Amino acid sequence: GQLVLDVSTMPADFAFLVIIYTVAATGARWASRTALVTGLCAAPLAQLRWSDSELGMGTTIAVTVFQAVPFALAWVLGDSVRTRRAYFAQLEERATRLEKEREAQAKVAVAAERARIARELHDVVAHNVSVMVVQADGAAYVMDAAPDQAKKALETISSTGRQALAEMRRLLGVLRTGEHQEAGEYVPQPDVQQIEDLVEQCRTSGLPVDFKVEGTPRQLPSGVELTAY
C-alpha cells in the first residue's frame, strides 16, 4: 500500500518486524520462510521506490542491505525461540519416557520379588507341614509305649505350627502390601547350614534320624539351599 500511495516509511512499519518474529517463533515452517522472504524483498522494493537517484550503485546496495538486516534479525530471533522450545519439548518428552520406563522396571521388579516370596512361602509351608506330619505319625506310633516321646513330638508339632503361621503371616503381609518390613522382623531364610539343627530337633522329639554329609561344602543359590533344607 505504501508503494502505491507513495507513502514513505512510517512508525507502524516496525510492526512488520514483530510479525516476522512471531511467525518465525510460532508459525508453520512455510509461513516462517514466507515472512522472511517478504521482509527481505521489502527492503530492495522500498529502496527502488524512494531512493535518491544521485546515490551510487554501491551506496544503494549498502543501504538496501542495511534495511534488510532488521528483518533477518527478527526472523533469526524467532527461529531460535522455536528451536529452543522444540529442544525443551524433546527433553520433557524424554524425561517422561524415562519415568515411565523406570515405573515399568519397578513393577517388573516388584512382580519378580512377589513371585520369589510366593516360592519361599510354598517351600517353608511345605517343610513345616512335612515336619508336623512326621511328628504326628511318630507320636501316634509311640503314644502307648513311650508317652514322654509322644509328648515331645506333640510339642514339636505345636511349635512348628506356630512358626509356620508366623512365617505365613510375614510373607502374606509382604505380598499384600508390597512393602518390606523392618530388618529385625524377618526370620532368616533356612539354608543347608541349618540342616543339623533340623535333624537335632527331630531327634529331640524322639525320632531316630541318620544324618551324613559327603563332599566339600560350597556356596549354593539361595533357592537350592532352601529346597535342600
- Residue 191 in this model has a pLDDT that exceeds 50: yes
- If we measure between CA atoms, which residue out of 73, 78, 21 comes closest to residue 43? 73
Tell whether the torsion through CA atoms of 122, 172, 118 and 195 is positive or negative: negative
- Residue 119 in this model has a pLDDT that exceeds 70: yes
Band (pLDDT 50/70/90 cuts) for residue 21 is: confident
Mean pLDDT of the chain: 75
Would you kindly state where each structural domain of the chain is located, as residue ranges? 2-97, 103-228
Output the nine-digit C-alpha cell for 223: 533357592
Percent of the chain with pLDDT over 70: 75
| Rounded Cα distance, 105 and 221, in Å | 24
Pair 24, 78: CB distance under 8 Å: yes
Average pLDDT over residues 1-30: 68
DSSP letter string over 61-115? HHHHHHHHHHHHHHHHHHHHHHHHHHHHHHHHHHHHHHHHHHHHHHHHHHHHHHH
Pair 125, 168: CB distance under 8 Å: yes
| Rounded Cα distance, 64 and 46, in Å | 8
pLDDT at 3: 41
Pair 132, 157: CB distance under 8 Å: yes
pLDDT at 4: 42
pLDDT at 178: 56
| Rounded Cα distance, 139 and 154, in Å | 7
Q: How many CB atoms lie within 10 A of CB 46?
A: 19
pLDDT at 138: 76
pLDDT at 45: 67
Average pLDDT over residues 146-171: 79
pLDDT at 31: 85
Kind and range of the H or E element at 21?
Answer: helix 14-26
Band (pLDDT 50/70/90 cuts) for residue 10 is: low
Average pLDDT over residues 46-69: 63
pTM: 0.43
What is the phi/psi pair of residue 101, to 5°?
A: -65, -40
Q: 197 or 25, which is more confident?
A: 25
| Rounded Cα distance, 37 and 162, in Å | 86
- Residue 72 in this model has a pLDDT that exceeds 70: yes
pLDDT tens-digit profile of 192-222? 888 887 787 777 666 678 888 888 878 888 7
